[in-house]
Amino acid sequence: MEKPHRPLSPHLQIYRPQITSVLSILHRFTGMGLILGLGVMAWALLALSCGAPSYESFRSFWPTFMGLGLRVILVTSLFYHFFNGVRHLFWDAGQGLDLKSVKASGWFVVVASAVGTILYLIF
């Protein structure tokens, strides 16, 4: 089959960052970050099934520097993806699609996920 030579749309760095585009790409980045969470879930269950000593070594990972970093990535990603996901569901239902609402809900997501992440990690 002949390879189609189609024009390429400009890459992300061409555009001036806006709240709409930045939040959109963040949804994908945090979604990819959460794939790590799936691995952690499988790891936890596997460690649990292998008995007390392996569960203990799973637990001892989290207070380490790496463990703390992973926890920050996972919790941040989860809170952001969760709130922005709700925003997407409203859009899919046809709600809040005008520019003013999109910007307002975007800032709400930023504040809510920042507050949620900090509160969850501290308390």
Partner 1 sequence: MSKKAHRRSFIAKASGNGLAPWWAQRLSALGLLLLIPWILFQLKSHSFDTHDHVMHWIQSPFNATATLMLVGLSFYHGYLGLRVIMEDYVSNHGLRLFLTILTKFLFIALSLLCAFIIFHLTLGSAHVPSL
| Nearer Cβ to partner 1 (17/39) | 39
14-22, 51-59, 94-102, 106-114 -> range binding partner 1 (CB under 8 A)? 51-59
| Nearer Cβ to partner 1 (36/111) | 36
Task: Write the burial class of residue 101 (CB in 10 Å: 0-12 exposed, 13-18 middle, 19+ buried).
Answer: middle
Is residue 54 part of the contact set for partner 1 (CB under 8 A)? yes
Asked if residues 23 and 110 have their Cβ atoms less than 8 Å apart, the reply is yes
Place of tokens 């699609």: 97
How many binding residues for partner 1 (CB under 8 A)?
30
